[in-house]
Amino acid sequence: MAIKPQIPPTCSPVHQDAWPLVWKLPIFVFAIVMISQGGCSLGYNGQSLISSQDRQTLIEYKQFIAQQEARRKHLAKQEQIRSQRANFTAPSQQAQAVDLEPSKATGPSRTDSQMFGTATGSRQRDTRFFFGQVSPNPPGLSTPMDGFNTVQQISFATEGADFDHDLDRSGKWMVFASTRHRSTSDLYVKSTHGSTVRQLTDDSGREQTPAFSPDGKWVAYASDQAGNWDIYLVPTTGGVSRQLTNSLNDEIHPSFSPDGNQLVFCSSGSRSGQWELVVISLDAPSVQKFIGHGLFPKWSPVEDRIVYQRPREMGSHYFGIWTLKLENGEGRGPTQVAASTNAAAITPSWSPDGRSVVFCTIVNPESDLQKGGPLQSNIWIIGTDGTGRTNLTHSRYADIQPIWASDGTIYFGSDRGRNGMENIWAIRTDAVTQMVQTKTQSALTAKASQEP
255-277, pLDDT tens digit by residue?
999 999 999 999 997 778 889 99
Same domain assignment for residues 145 and 73: no
Same domain assignment for residues 175 and 54: no
Q: Which of 82, 102, 117 is the last residue of a domain?
A: 82
Is the pLDDT at 209 greater than 70? The verdict is yes
Same domain assignment for residues 63 and 159: no
307 compared with 436, residue with greater pLDDT? 307
Average of per-residue pLDDT across 162-170: 96
The answer to whether residue 99 is domain-embedded is no
pTM of structure: 0.70
The CATH number covering residue 195 comes to 2.120.10.30
Is the pLDDT at 399 greater than 60? The verdict is yes
Tell me, what's the pLDDT at 403?
97
Tell me, what's the pLDDT at 371?
47
CB atoms within 10 A of CB 59: 12
d(CA 166, CA 186): 14
Is the pLDDT at 43 greater than 70? The verdict is no
Q: Using the 8-state DSSP alphabet, how is residue 418 labeled?
A: G
Contact between 158 and 313 (Cβ < 8 Å):
no
Tell me, what's the pLDDT at 97?
33
Q: How far apart are the first and last CA of the chain?
A: 52
Which value, to the nearest 10 degrees, does the dihedral of the CA atoms of residues 87, 88, 92, 96 take? Answer: -30
d(CA 5, CA 308): 25
The answer to whether residue 90 is domain-embedded is no
Average of per-residue pLDDT across 366-385: 75
Q: Which of 427, 430, 438, 335 shows the shortest CA–CA distance to 146?
A: 427
d(CA 157, CA 296): 25
Same domain assignment for residues 258 and 406: yes
The answer to whether residue 386 is domain-embedded is yes
Q: What is the pLDDT of residues 189-206, one digit of tens each?
A: 999 999 899 999 999 899
Same domain assignment for residues 266 and 147: yes
Length of the chain: 452
The answer to whether residue 98 is domain-embedded is no
Is the pLDDT at 215 greater than 90? The verdict is yes
- Among 104-113, 210-219, 300-309, whose mean pLDDT is lowest? 104-113
Tell me, what's the pLDDT at 37?
39
432 compared with 106, residue with greater pLDDT? 432
The answer to whether residue 5 is domain-embedded is no
Q: E strands along 282-355, which residues?
A: 284-293, 295-299, 305-311, 319-327, 330-338, 343-350
Q: What's the whole-number average pLDDT of the chain?
A: 75
Q: What is the pLDDT of residues 64-107, one digit of tens each?
A: 667 767 766 766 665 565 556 788 766 444 333 333 222 333 33
Tell me, what's the pLDDT at 285?
96
Tell me, what's the pLDDT at 414?
93
The answer to whether residue 97 is domain-embedded is no
Which residues fall within 8 angstroms of residue 288, CB to CB, at 6 or more apart?
245, 267, 278, 279, 280
Same domain assignment for residues 396 and 322: yes
Q: What is the pLDDT of residues 3-40, one digit of tens each?
A: 433 333 333 322 333 333 333 334 333 333 333 333 33
Band of the pLDDT at 290, cuts 50, 70, 90? very high
Same domain assignment for residues 136 and 78: no
d(CA 236, CA 213): 9
- Among 55-59, 285-289, 323-327, whose mean pLDDT is lowest? 55-59
Same domain assignment for residues 77 and 183: no
Same domain assignment for residues 65 and 207: no
Average of per-residue pLDDT across 390-418: 90
Is the pLDDT at 54 greater than 60? The verdict is no
Same domain assignment for residues 347 and 424: yes
5 compared with 250, residue with greater pLDDT? 250
- Among 73-82, 112-121, 139-148, 312-321, whose mean pLDDT is lowest? 112-121
Tell me, what's the pLDDT at 52?
40
Q: Which of 55, 82, 109 is the last residue of a domain?
A: 82
The answer to whether residue 136 is domain-embedded is yes
Report the number of distinct structural domains present in the chain. Answer: 2
Average of per-residue pLDDT across 296-304: 97
Is the pLDDT at 222 greater than 90? The verdict is yes
Band of the pLDDT at 438, cuts 50, 70, 90? low
Tell me, what's the pLDDT at 374?
67
Average of per-residue pLDDT across 135-163: 67
CA 431, chain centre distance (Å): 23
Contact between 100 and 390 (Cβ < 8 Å):
no
Same domain assignment for residues 44 and 187: no
Same domain assignment for residues 131 and 51: no
Nearest 5°: the CA angle 229, 347, 434 is 150
d(CA 443, CA 99): 11
Tell me, what's the pLDDT at 367?
66
Nearest 5°: the CA angle 323, 326, 332 is 65
Q: Which of 45, 64, 82 is the last residue of a domain?
A: 82
Tell me, what's the pLDDT at 114?
32
191 forms beta bridges with 173
Query: Positive or negative, the Cα torsion across 145, 148, 151, 156?
Result: positive
Is the pLDDT at 141 greater than 50? The verdict is no
d(CA 189, CA 179): 14
Is the pLDDT at 212 greater than 80? The verdict is yes
| Radius of gyration over every alpha carbon of the chain, rounded to an integer in angstroms | 25
Range of the domain at 373: 127-450
Tell me, what's the pLDDT at 98?
34
The answer to whether residue 87 is domain-embedded is no
Average of per-residue pLDDT across 376-390: 90
